[in-house]
Structure 1
Amino acid sequence: MTACSRADSGGSAATSSAPVQGTPATELRLGYFPNVTHAAALVGVDKGLFAKELGDTKLTTQTFNAGPEAVNALLGSSLDATFIGSGPAINAYAKSKGEAIRVISGATSGGAQFVVKPEINSAADLKGKVITTPQLGNTQDVALKKWLSDQKLTVGTGPDQVNVTNTENAQALDLFKKGDVAGAWVPEPWSSRLVLDAGAKVLLDEKTLWDGGKFPTTVLIVRTEFLRDHPQTVEALLKGLVASTDYATGNKADAKKVVNESLKKLTGKALGDPVLDRAFEGIELTVDPLAKTFPQLAKDAVTAGVSKEAADVKGIADFTLLNKVLSAAGKPSVDAAGLDKK
């Protein structure tokens, strides 16, 4: 496999655009996934770091398997903010014609791999095979289909095509063990579980496709209306996220324990230590959403056949409150790469 860079270069610093009026919300409905790539959310909820900053605002949480279903909840106004993959975040922005959501922070870089049966050694070996991703149009689904296109392979059920299906992560593990699928492009901890628990091997680590191995696996988005009406609440959420990220990176052993206990609570099964360690090695917790990659991600959705045209991502970013929180904590600001202006 030859690695290639997909990240755009350069970008301008974020400028102030968030509202300064509004009132604290009585409730914040927050979504996240039971994945290691959502470690900052899992730690923030379990350690009470979000609740502490939110004060009198009630925190209500809901978990999802993949981004598209979280987007539906957000666009249906049954959710106020959610940790989500970059692909569905862009799709939500485009679907609402740039009105419904804003990306307000990053959460995780890295932590997604294409793992396959041991006998598969090249792209050509995928012909006629069944490969699965978490959900149609989710971040990993787009990444797989874009990569297949780059390898001159088409998606379909023919003998020279690759049959791409969509399966919940836990079911994908079972299907792989049974031999019903030959591989999966999945986030952590599922790639590690497939490798260590089911005998898969890594055909491709998505890091190799990006400059410096950095790409936004998980970001934090909020309903634009909620951001406008309750900036204090959003700022409190971001304070909690920064605290959670600092805690997880400064207390890795305890963070792993917290994440594993949360996963057991949410999925009914804890991870073995080797799986947990491998999963954490593959991710970087960071509030930088790596905004400069978003234009390329929008183009990838077209190449993957998920979108008819590349979404215009100008205006998708609003890091005013995040950079305010970071500045107060003596931390460097994050770059909006010009995406804070329409």
Structure 2
Amino acid sequence: MKKASIFLAFLMIFAVLLAGCGIGGGASKTAGEKEKIVIGYFPNINHVPAMVAKDKGYFEKQLGDGKTMEYKIFAEGGSFMTALKTGEIDAGLVGPGPAMNNYSTGADVKIIAGASTGGTVVLARKGVKIDSVDDFAGKTFITPGVGCTHDVQYETYLEAEGITSQRIGGSMKHLTGQPAQYAAMLKSGKVDIAVAPEPWAAVIEKETGAEVVIGWDEVSFGETLPASVMVTSGKMIKEKPETVQKIINAHKDAVKFINDNPAVAQEITIKDIKETTGQELEKEEVELAWKRIGFTHEVDAQAIQDFSDSSYSLKFLKDKPDFKTMIDDSFLK
């Protein structure tokens, strides 16, 4: 009996030690451990504010020594939104399409700032003749995701002419994939039309000889819609408003730096995209892409509502939502 008591006591001590080391279930961080803040973004030019903030250490400067930063890279909006909903990331940049689609199904997501505008370009594979909008019928097009920002812009543009995808009874065939792979897919003939975010549109032009058939300022919502927005969760806003404010402060610093120092920002972009995708963009490609994008922390709420109405018309959304409560611009004031 005595040996059994000693053994049980040992087990209890061992369990306490495990919990103290963070191995036991439900363990919290130990005293002195820094809180980690995770920011997500995509490797395209609409997300340059995150790249610049990362490179210049703006988040670290704003958040102070009590927190440590981590960055996660995403190829498309669906996986980004899953990460936000599960708490894998705390905030980050995403297209308004995925944010609105998830909000409409009950996701706890808030748009807290703008990041960029423009940057969506539609290109036709070399040899594919597009003389009028009617020529898009029956073609195979590719976008980063179903119902993503670029997809909605493209389909809205053509819906006005009565051309829709097979998803809603039309003739256009739709594929999805990573923009960095579009050039290869065009060369292989797997797709006819690429709806590409910058800088990949500029890369496609140079590498494949593809022709721009709908410019960034011609495609629907091209000049008004935020191409990327800063989002977080309502829970984060409620529980850590000071942290959210500091994230926004860093984001605003990054946007200002981009507009004041475009050449340096372009160098940061080339470096970051090479590190995250393995592809090194040429300076000329980035300069071309830069002409098709604007950077701002402001949010155009009406443009977002108009975009959502179109998403509903195209049946990406089941119900026609009101996104007024989705936008929280209080941290910008």
Could you say which TM-score interval applies, normalised by the shorter chain?
A: 0.7 to 0.9
* Equivalent residue, structure 2, for 1:154: 164
Verify: 1:48 aligned to 2:48, yes or no: no
Verify: 1:109 aligned to 2:117, yes or no: yes
Match of 2:243 among 200, 221, 233: 233
State how far apart, in whole Å, the 2-side matches of 1:310 and 1:244 are: 34
Q: What stretches of structure 1 of length at least 5 have no aligned partner?
A: 1-24, 324-342
Moved over 6 A (4+): none
State how far apart, in whole Å, the 1-side matches of 2:222 and 2:194 are: 24
State how far apart, in whole Å, the 2-side matches of 1:146 and 1:304 are: 7
Verify: 1:253 aligned to 2:258, yes or no: no
Q: Which deviates more, 257-266 or 42-51?
A: 42-51
TM-score normalized with structure 2 length: 0.84
Verify: 1:188 aligned to 2:198, yes or no: yes
Alpha-carbon deviation of 1:224?
A: 0.7
Match of 2:225 among 201, 204, 215: 215
Could you say what secondary structure the match of 2:276 adopts?
helix
* Paired letter, 2:138: G
The verdict on how the C-alpha distance between 1:149 and 1:291 changes in structure 2, with shifts beyond 3 A counting, is same
State how far apart, in whole Å, the 1-side matches of 2:198 and 2:310 are: 21
Asked if the contact 1:145–1:305 (Cα under 8 Å) also holds between the matched residues in 2, the reply is no
Asked if the contact 2:259–2:295 (Cα under 8 Å) also holds between the matched residues in 1, the reply is yes
Give the greater-gyration-radius structure (CA). Answer: 2
State how far apart, in whole Å, the 2-side matches of 1:108 and 1:155 are: 27
Q: Identity over aligned residues, as a percent?
A: 27
* Equivalent residue, structure 1, for 2:285: 275
Q: What stretches of structure 2 of length at least 5 have no aligned partner?
A: 1-33
State how far apart, in whole Å, the 1-side matches of 2:304 and 2:279 are: 34
State how far apart, in whole Å, the 2-side matches of 1:212 and 1:280 are: 14
Q: Which has the higher contact order (CA 8 A, sep 6+)?
A: 1
Could you say what secondary structure the match of 1:315 adopts?
helix
Verify: 1:30 aligned to 2:39, yes or no: yes
Give the aligned length.
297
Could you say what secondary structure the match of 1:213 adopts?
coil
* Equivalent residue, structure 2, for 1:166: 176
Q: Deviations over 1:47-82 (max 9, x none)?
A: 111111111222111111111211111112222112
* Equivalent residue, structure 2, for 1:178: 188
* Paired letter, 1:70: F
State how far apart, in whole Å, the 1-side matches of 2:306 and 2:281 are: 34
State how far apart, in whole Å, the 1-side matches of 2:84 and 2:221 are: 31
Verify: 1:81 aligned to 2:94, yes or no: no
State how far apart, in whole Å, the 1-side matches of 2:204 and 2:87 are: 35
* Equivalent residue, structure 2, for 1:337: none
